[in-house]
Chains A and B, each alone.
Chain A
């Protein structure tokens, strides 16, 4: 029998090992490591082209918050493997993440990351700082580096509302981790080059949430216009981009009707001017 000094922590420890850390990932790593996303495995052949890939995610700040949007296409090589995949995830009440790259790994990361943030919040009784959340995600991505080298690349884009500054913040990553804080806007995925070009011309400082949602819908359309792996709005099947807004009131995912309103407005304007709004030259 254990000494009375070990109780009650001693008995609880046998059931759920207390690592002394508030991190869920560390706890799972010691209690049930097989549940964590694959680490350090060596694949016989790179399988990068055979698994579905998620494509374009865009995010931009507005006055007092941040918006993130993602297209709905997943591709395996030249095949469209899914038309309505979701790749923008709520992380907690004041943050979200979008994923580009291997869809399955990305979804797993999003699920783990959500528990990670919540676990800290419940154990510590406070929300993690925005910088802390961004750093935590960097560690997770770095842990996937071995798999990324074999083709299972996953790169997230992280956006959060920072209550201390009353503004939205955006962090991007590369395969080896990060984070890199971005001013104003950023895009990831295969269509990101085109989306970023579009955002560069359309972004306005201090715009409203409403205007910024429209800006991102335009940028996603521009990405889909030039990148074969990015899906545009599917009018016949009524599949619209996923748009999430985070501000002082918390995370909110726009409903299908709301997004279809923005898309319809954009499509109407593009019937006249197919390349979208024209930025003033001077």
Chain B
């Protein structure tokens, strides 16, 4: 028997799906999640005030995502339902980041194999503990793989370059201002402009808070914090810079096409 028309090997299908997802994810801006002395810090350059990339899932659990908004929003809502119903069925302390990461992993994995189009998302589930040893950062990719990250994670855009800069600068038990400085330095291409205050989405899981540990840092509070960093950003938005010259030399690690983020644009 000859092969049916339009046959593609499973390897080819999986590879195509993965390439498709990687390209989609690399299109957005990066998001950085890192540990600081009192908990976990999330930083995302995000021009939208309404469409969040970072959000609260439960008392100790935060969520950050990159990629297609409608897809990770669905994951976020599913996670909130999972957490709320488990906390209501048992006790609030019985909702864990590990459980949520497993739920996401199984769903992402199933969608990756069963559906024609995999989800173009990458998410971080972070949980703050009573001490820094209890903190956990799980990074999940579009195919359902789970990475138990130590100290920091970067995803989206030029994730590997951002993770590299983050690794160089990251130290254990930094203050919040220092951690924010490290995150902004990692998110900025060498020689590039830092995103202005109004286009930063910043949140923390602060282990010293009562009840709910998640807190968005906005407005005056964020500006005060940024003023403490060694390299305060400009308060006003700068016009988009011309495309960086270096962007054509080597293809970014994830090999995206089209509207690729090279870190030079403040948006």
Q: Do A and B bind each other?
A: yes
Residue B71 lies at the interface, judged by CB distance under 8 Å to chain A? yes
Partner of A123, one of B50, B80, B114: B80
Cβ of B52 and Cβ of A125 under 8 Å apart? yes
Bound Cα distance A15, B105 (Å): 13
Bound Cα distance A90, B92 (Å): 14
A-B contact pairs, 27 of them (CB 8 A): A1-B114, A4-B115, A7-B117, A8-B74, A8-B107, A8-B111, A8-B115, A8-B119, A9-B74, A11-B110, A11-B114, A11-B115, A12-B75, A15-B107, A18-B77, A24-B88, A27-B84, A28-B88, A32-B85, A32-B89, A35-B89, A93-B212, A111-B88, A118-B84, A122-B57, A123-B80, A125-B52
A35: B residues at CB distance < 8 A: 85, 88-89
Residue A119 lies at the interface, judged by CB distance under 8 Å to chain B? yes
State which size class the interface on A falls in.
20 to 34
Q: Interface centre among B50, B75, B114, by most A CB within 10 Å?
A: B114
Q: Is the interface of B mostly helix, strand, loop or mixed?
A: helix
Q: Interface centre among B77, B81, B119, by most A CB within 10 Å?
A: B81
Residue B220 lies at the interface, judged by CB distance under 8 Å to chain A? no
Q: Which residues of B contact A (CB under 8 A)?
A: 50, 52, 55-57, 71, 74-75, 77-78, 80-82, 84-85, 87-89, 103, 107, 110-111, 114-117, 119, 211-212
Instruction: Specify the chain B residue showing the minimal Cβ separation from A24.
Output: B84
Cβ of A16 and Cβ of B111 under 8 Å apart? no
Q: Is the interface of A mostly helix, strand, loop or mixed?
A: helix
- Tally of contacts, chain A with chain B, CB under 8 A: 70
Bound Cα distance A118, B59 (Å): 10
6 closest A-B pairs by CB: A16-B81, A12-B78, A7-B115, A4-B116, A122-B80, A115-B88
Partner of B85, one of A12, A27, A118: A27
Cβ of B82 and Cβ of A8 under 8 Å apart? no
Bound Cα distance A244, B128 (Å): 27
A111: B residues at CB distance < 8 A: 88
Q: Which residues of A contact B (CB under 8 A)?
A: 1, 4, 7-9, 11-12, 15-16, 18, 24, 27-28, 31-32, 35, 90, 93, 111-112, 115, 118-119, 122-123, 125
A122: B residues at CB distance < 8 A: 55-57, 80
Q: Interface centre among A7, A18, A28, A31, by most B CB within 10 Å?
A: A7
Bound Cα distance A257, B196 (Å): 46
Cβ of B211 and Cβ of A28 under 8 Å apart? no
Cβ of A16 and Cβ of B78 under 8 Å apart? yes
Cβ of B211 and Cβ of A12 under 8 Å apart? no
Cβ of B85 and Cβ of A28 under 8 Å apart? yes
Q: Interface centre among B55, B56, B88, by most A CB within 10 Å?
A: B88
Q: With A15-B107, A122-B55, A123-B80 in contact, do A112 and B115 touch (Cβ < 8 Å)? A: no
Instruction: Specify the chain A residue showing the minimal Cβ separation from B51.
Output: A125
Q: With A4-B116, A32-B85, A119-B80 in contact, do A11 and B56 touch (Cβ < 8 Å)? A: no
Instruction: Specify the chain A residue showing the minimal Cβ separation from B114.
Output: A1
B55: A residues at CB distance < 8 A: 122, 125
Q: How far is the CB of A50 from chain B (nearest CB, A)?
A: 27
Cβ of B74 and Cβ of A12 under 8 Å apart? yes
Instruction: Specify the chain A residue showing the minimal Cβ separation from B214.
Output: A122
Bound Cα distance A18, B74 (Å): 10
Cβ of B89 and Cβ of A15 under 8 Å apart? no
Q: A28-B85, A32-B85, A35-B88 are in contact. List 17 more A-B contacts (CB 8 A).
A: A1-B114, A7-B111, A7-B115, A7-B117, A8-B75, A11-B107, A12-B75, A15-B107, A27-B84, A31-B81, A35-B85, A112-B88, A118-B84, A119-B84, A122-B55, A123-B77, A125-B50
A9: B residues at CB distance < 8 A: 74
